[in-house]
Amino acid sequence: MPRQSPVAEKADGFGVVPGAVKKAAGFIARTTLSLRESLKMEAIGECKRRHPLVKMTEKEIFQQPYYTGYLNGFKCERCGVNSLNLVDKTGYMCTECEYVLCGLCYQSSKAEVVERMLNSKRQENRARLALMKSQMSLSLYDDNKSPSAKSRKAAHDR
C-alpha cells in the first residue's frame, strides 16, 4: 500500500481530514431521501401568506365567524371545486385569511412546504461543505507554505 503524504495523514486544526469532505458530501446525498420523508410527516400546508392550514369539516368551516364562502359547503381557493362535488368533505382552512383548500390541493401545498424546507437544508449543507473545504485549503496552505517559527525569527532579526 503506497504511503500517503504527511499532509494527508494528519487532520487540520479543525479535525478535518482530507477525504472527509467527500464522505460528508455522500452522507448529505444519502440523507436527503430520509430527510424528505421525515419532513413530509411533520410539514403542515400553508396559505398564500404562509399561515398554517387547519383541518376542518364542511360544517366547521361554515361556522367560522367571518367566513363569507358558499352557503352550501366551501370552494377550494386553488382548483375552484365546490365541496358538494367532493367525496371527502374535509377542508383545510387558514382562519386568519379565510383561505380554504380541498384535500388534494392541501397535499400539494404540503409538498411545496417540504420542498422549501429541503432547499433550505440543502443550502445549509452546501455552506457547511464549503466551510469544510475552505478550512482544508487553509490547513494545507499553512502546512506547506508558512515559514517555520525559526525562519520567521531569522527574517525578523535581519
- Its pTM stands at 0.59
pLDDT (0 to 100) of residue 32: 59
Ordered DSSP codes for 44-74: --B-TT-PBPEEE-HHHHHTSTT--S-SSS-
Domain ranges of the chain: 51-122
Torsion (CA) 123, 127, 128, 131 in degrees, nearest 10 = 170
pLDDT tens, position by position, for the chain (158 residues)? Answer: 444 444 444 444 445 555 655 566 666 555 556 777 878 888 889 999 999 999 999 889 888 877 766 667 788 999 999 888 888 889 999 989 989 999 999 999 999 999 998 888 888 888 888 888 887 777 655 555 555 556 556 655 66
- Please, are residues 155 and 147 in contact by the beta-carbon 8 Å criterion? yes
pLDDT (0 to 100) of residue 25: 60
| Conformational region of residue 100, where left means phi above 0, alpha means psi within -120 to 50, and beta covers everything else | beta
